[in-house]
Amino acid sequence: MDIKLDPSRDDLPLMANTSHILVKHYVLDLDVDFESQIIEGTLVLFFESGNRYRKKSSSTEETCQSESDEACKFRMPEPCHVPVTNTRTFSSKMGYNDFAIYGKGEKDTSGKDGNHDNQEQASGISSSKYCCDTGNHGSEDFLLVLDCCDLSVLKVEEVDVAAVPGIEKFTRSPKLTVVSELRNQIVHELVTLPADRWREQLDYYAHCSQAPGCGELLFDTDTWSLQIRKTGAQTATDFPHAIRIRYRTKPQGRSVTWTSDQSGRPCVYTMGSPINNRALFPCQEPPVAMSTWQATVRASASFVVLMSGENSAKPTQLREGCSSWHYYVTMPMPASTFTIAVGPWTEVKPETCSPSDQAAKRSFSPSEADFRCASICGHVEYPCRFQNASAATQEIIPHRVFAPGCLRGACQEMLLQLVSPCLSAAHSVLGTHPFSRLDVLIVPANFPSLGMASPHIVFLSQSTLTGGSHLCGTRLCHEIAHAWFGLAIGARDWTEEWLSEGFATHLEDVFWAKAQQLAPHEAREQQELRACLRWRRLQDELRNSPEPLQVLRNDICLNVGYP
């Protein structure tokens, strides 16, 4: 099923069959080796299949929507050679109505057969013709397809979650005699725990990820995907709901940038574009496939590990010269938002702490959520800050600034002074910050953009430090705006990314005017001038862009990550 693509003409294929089965949680356990420029370790994935694909039973809710058992079986369709332009799939809640919009969504467009109007685009595959995957030899076993590129997959195995001490409380039906069904029921109960049990859920995810394997799974890789099969598992419901993948990245992997910082010391960072995270770990890349994750990363003790996690991780010394860092998230997010940066970063701290800095030091964790807040969100269940009365009044979330040692002075003089007023300005316009904390990192000189926002962390180019407070401030405001538009609320597919960019571009002017404490007429004049400059730049770009690139949902839509 390998696809030959022309990078100058074709879009990256979204191969993961998210219409069949969804990753609900990733557990990564990784080692970073700068000598070999390889990240190596294990990845444990916890799945949930859609209820429309469950086997027939006496329960109406678990009855397959098809009239025949044969219709409940899934075979691997041929991959589509046309770029993906509409990734609609089902919800990550058991209702599976509208998974694409993180907030309140549209009505389900599925028909009687349970398929969406664009199911084939949702998984990046064509449903017009069924065939066996390479080496399947006519078998009708369910095939799990994950987006994967530039990775060496060494082993894939099922995880025996039933062997975890105390896990039996997740067994709703003790009468199950088929061991595989018992394991899958345990995972189902685990992934559907209510939001107020998030800490217990993370702990059990960690314990399950360390459980022994209970049988290797067949797998194959091609340029863009990892395909996994278990003999005899003919539906997504039968397929193991917890699997472990041992793998390593490749030095030339396009999701991982091995380089040196401005002080000449080695570092590595990842960013969601242009190839998303498929060369960092096997995953489901379509932006509608949202999941939570936790990661343990080991590196030399001289390095700092920053990630897009909810917690401000502290290093744990494992042995002399080696430290371990642990991060997690409880808000379901697309895999493309997973970000990591490992390097000899220096934390830039203020010489004296202002009252606002002192107030920002206290972070509100999900365990402190106060659900007495009147607002009701329409997204999947998780410990949401928008329902946290304490978080609603937190104008300035805890934040840190990191940079190479040689840029510490410039960051202290410029960037550090801007973070608090920009965060406060954002809160005055949009209210509760979607994320509990923020790290800002000045990335190496080869970073290809002025900035990139990920949950809990923002990458900024060193160029923002040389353009005065206006350039640094507006760019910081732009990336902060993406916390609401692009992250908390995201596109259904990459062709709709212009929406989040449009909101962030507009709000950077609004935030920056408030951060500067401009008078209303001054703010209006500044915004009008910037709007005029953008309009002229857009006209120039249209004159110099091929016509197909000027149309939404065209044949060469760019599949990039969130800036």
Q: Which is higher by pLDDT, 9 or 251? A: 251
Rounded Cα distance between 368 and 327, Å, is 18
In this prediction, residue 298 carries a pLDDT of 97
pLDDT value at residue 558:
44
What local confidence, expressed as pLDDT, does residue 535 receive?
85
Q: How confident is the model at residue 361, as a pLDDT? A: 55
pLDDT at 490 over 90: no
Question: Where residue 280 falls among pLDDT bands split at 50, 70, 90?
Answer: very high
pLDDT band (50, 70, 90) for residue 83: very low
HSE-CB at 406 with a 13 A cutoff on CA atoms is 10
Mean pLDDT of the region 37-46 = 98
Mean pLDDT score across all residues of the chain: 79
Q: What is the pLDDT of residue 119?
A: 33
Give the contacts of 353 (CB within 8 A, at least 6 positions apart).
Answer: none
pLDDT above 50: residue 53: no
Are 45 and 245 contacting, i.e. CB atoms less than 8 angstroms apart? yes
Return the pLDDT at 138: 46
- Reported as a pLDDT band with limits 50, 70 and 90, residue 93 is very low
**Token digits for 231?**
């003999």
Least confident of 114-123, 340-349, 354-363, 367-376: 114-123
Q: In sequence order, which residues have a C-beta less than 8 Å from that of residue 407 and are 6 or more positions away?
A: 262, 442, 462, 465
Question: What's the token pair of residue 431?
Answer: 């209210």
Instruction: Output the CA angle 456-249-88, nearest 5 degrees.
Output: 60
The per-residue pLDDT for 371 is: 43
Task: With beta carbons less than 8 A apart as the criterion, state whether 487 and 453 touch.
Answer: yes
Interval 68-85 mean pLDDT: 31
pLDDT given for residue 467 in this prediction: 75
Q: CA 383 from chain center: how many Å?
A: 17
Q: Could you tell me how many residues make up the chain?
A: 563
Interval 467-471 mean pLDDT: 85
Instruction: Evaluate the CA torsion angle 237, 238, 242, 247 in order and state its sign.
Output: negative
Which domains does the chain show, CATH number per domain?
Answer: 21-50+139-256+272-296 (2.60.40.1730), 345-351+381-543 (1.10.390.10)
Q: What pLDDT is attached to residue 88?
A: 28
By percentage, how much of the chain surpasses pLDDT 70? 75
Instruction: Based on the residue annotation, tell me whether 479 is a catalytic residue of this protein.
Output: yes
Percent of the chain with pLDDT over 90: 55
- What average pLDDT does the segment 1-21 reach? 75
Selecting among 285, 479, 497, 508, the annotated active-site residue is 479
pLDDT band at 357 (very low <50, low <70, confident <90, very high): low
Q: What is residue 77's predicted lDDT score, i.e. its pLDDT? A: 31
Rounded average pLDDT over 381-394: 90
Q: How many CA atoms lie within 13 A of 102 on its CB side?
A: 23
Place 179 in a pLDDT band, splitting at 50, 70 and 90: confident
8 Å CB contact between 369 and 486: no
Q: What is the pLDDT of residue 375?
A: 59
Q: Residue 115 has what pLDDT?
A: 27
> Which H or E run contains 129?
strand 125-130
Is the pLDDT at 360 greater than 70? The verdict is: no
Q: What does the block give as tokens for 464? A: 């923002």
CA dist 448 and 459 (Å) reads 11
Region 63-85: mean pLDDT is: 31
Q: Reduce the DSSP state of residue 364 to 3 states and report it.
A: coil
pLDDT at 271 over 50: yes
Tokens coding 406: 């040689």
| pLDDT above 50 (res 251) | yes
pLDDT in tens, 208-228: 999 999 999 999 999 999 999
For the chain, first and last CA: distance in Å?
31
Whether the pLDDT of residue 359 is over 80: the answer is: no
Q: Tell me which amino acid residue 507 is.
A: L
Instruction: Please list, in sequence order, all residues whose beta carbon lies within 8 angstroms of the beta carbon of residue 37, skipping any fewer than 6 positions away.
Output: 251, 258, 268
Give residue-wise pLDDT tens across range 108-128: 333 333 222 233 333 333 222
What pLDDT score was predicted for residue 73? 30
Give how far the C-alpha of residue 112 lies from the chain's centroid of Cα atoms, to the nearest Å: 32
The Cα 163–Cα 91 span in angstroms is 30
| Alpha carbon distance 405, 344 (integer Å) | 8
171 or 251: which carries more pLDDT confidence?
Answer: 251
Host H or E run for residue 187? helix 179-191
pLDDT in tens, 493-516: 777 788 899 999 999 999 999 999
